[in-house]
Amino acid sequence: MARVVVGLSGGVDSSVAAALLLEQGHEVIGMFMRNWHDESVTINNECPWIDDSNDAMLVAEKLGIPFQVIDLSAEYKERIVEYMFAEYQAGRTPNPDVLCNREIKFDIFLDAAMRIGADFVATGHYCRKTETTHPDFGTLYRLLAGKDPNKDQSYFLCQLNQQQLSKALFPIGELLKPEVRDKARELGLVTAEKKDSQGLCFVGKVKLPDFLQQQLQVKPGKVIEIPETVAIEKFNHARRTLNELEASCYEPHYAASEGIPVADHQ
């Protein structure tokens, strides 16, 4: 069977993914990615990396598999956080979760797994993959939605290329979330009742304005309605992006464009 490195996040999904691979007879290694450890921007210290790491370690001990922590915080800051800042500064809403999968989990993390002899990496994503043979291109991989329509995460993996997909396993893709929790309870895993993670990938629930103000320059601006009417005299420019709901208006407003020069009307 294959040697598989599982990205143990400290959550129930990756825990059960590791357990299922063991049941299938694979050699399984648990690896926790330490990608963020600045708790100054998290809400009530939620999603602290050390708690997640401890839970991942306890799961590995329960399953009897090797466990290690890999520090990718520098790469995460360079590839994800700085990208976020740049997008918000340009007035665009970024999607760090999609980028995190492409650049961190299935690039840097995948490379680290390959260096220790892994055949595949596995995660706790709710998605599936299939493979077909093309007469000209050989084996082709398709990313499919997970069986659970309420938890499908295939969108967040939409930028994986063929090489990345060829090395990826998604063991819980055929399960519903309640089935995953039932399996964790059956195995006595510490993560069985743990709440799902929320917020920014590997950072958790953050005070986004405070997070952005670490680097972005806040400047005043105007929201111009169509026709040209000043709806809001001033707002924090760096915190509003295209397509983002403007909650400070009495009625719903969305940003259609940004930076278009419009003359002031008295």
Could you tell me the pLDDT band of residue 171, with boundaries at 50, 70 and 90? very high
Give Cα 166 distance to the centre of its chain.
20
pLDDT confidence of residue 43? 46
Distances (CA, A) of 139 to 111, 131, 132, 146, 172: 21, 6, 6, 21, 23
Query: With 70 as the cut, is the pLDDT of residue 179 above it?
Result: yes
Is 226's pLDDT higher than 80? no
Q: How far is CA 47 from CA 30, 50, 74, 82, 154, in A?
A: 19, 9, 19, 21, 23
pLDDT at position 228 over 50: yes
pLDDT in tens, 86-107: 888 888 888 889 999 999 999 9
Strand partners, 134: 138
Query: What is the arithmetic mean of pLDDT over 8-32?
Result: 98
Asked whether residue 250 carries a pLDDT value surpassing 60, the answer given is: no
81 — pLDDT class (breaks 50, 70, 90): confident
- Tokens, residue 117: 């002899």
Supply the mean pLDDT for the chain: 84
Lowest-confidence range among 16-30, 121-135, 194-208? 194-208
Q: Is the dihedral of CA 58, 59, 63, 64 positive or negative?
A: negative
Mean pLDDT of 17-44: 85
Beta bridge pairs of residue 67? 30
d(CA 84, CA 225): 27
Q: Which domains does the chain have, with CATH numbers?
A: 3-208 (3.40.50.620), 217-266 (no CATH)
Is 231 a residue whose pLDDT tops 90? no
For residue 21, give the amino acid letter: L
> Confidence class of residue 85 from pLDDT cuts 50, 70 and 90?
confident
Q: What is the mean pLDDT of residues 44-56?
A: 77
Mean pLDDT of 38-63: 78
Using DSSP's 3-state secondary structure scheme, residue 232 falls into strand
Question: Annotated catalytic sites, by residue?
Answer: 100, 201
Q: Give the C-alpha distances (Å, rounded to integers) separating 186 from 16, 29, 128.
A: 10, 21, 24
Distance of CA 82 to the CA centre of its chain: 16
Q: Which residue has the higher pLDDT, 204 or 63?
A: 63
Chain-centre distance for alpha carbon 135: 35
Burial of 257 (0-12, 13-18, 19+ CB in 10 A): exposed
Q: Is 206 helix (H, G, I), strand (E, B) or coil?
A: strand
Contact by Cβ (8 Å): 130, 103:
no
pLDDT digits (tens, 9 = 90+) for 147-169: 999 999 999 999 999 999 999 99
Residue 184 has what pLDDT? 99
